[in-house]
Homo-oligomer: A and B are copies of this chain.
Amino acid sequence: MSKEASLKFHMNLGMLIRSAHNSMTERFVKNVFKSGLDISMDQWMVLGPIWQLGSPSQKDLGEICLRDKSSITRIIDSLEGKSLVVRVSDQIDHRIKRVILTNAGKQLFYDVLPIMEKTREEVRGQISEEEIEIFKNVLSKIIKNLNSKA
């Protein structure tokens, strides 16, 4: 591959990924706002796993969401500030804080679910299921490639 071609490829990839991510987040926030609700993409990305897992630790959430633990701390702070979740110290291991949805948190989750579904449709548009599968697969592989060897 020529230097020019490889340059073009790599530049585009990074920029495309960044831009796609920004657009998706922006659209989600817009759709949430239009529905009169109030939750950021980050908060939602944490709320879902809490709902699925029941009472995950913050460490669990960090691993699932692929985020730094300090980011999780702050997102949980904001969710707790809105009374959507509560932190509960683990009975056995007092270092661990388990995060649990309040009733308001569960309600919001169910309210946002159809908005997320709508956003998902808008993001996907005419992209085929097969393409999406490959897309997610490539993303996973990239992450694996970069996290394995130093």
Contact = CB atoms under 8 A, between A and B. Distances in A.
Interface of A: 3-4, 6-7, 9-21, 23-27, 41, 45, 48-49, 52, 64-67, 113, 116-117, 119-120, 122-127, 131-132, 134-147, 149
B136 A134 contact: no
A33 to B, nearest CB: 13
Q: Which 6 A/B pairs are nearest by Cβ-Cβ distance?
A: A125-B145, A19-B66, A23-B146, A16-B139, A135-B138, A17-B21
Nearest to A25: B14
A36 to B, nearest CB: 18
A142 B117 contact: no
B123 A145 contact: yes
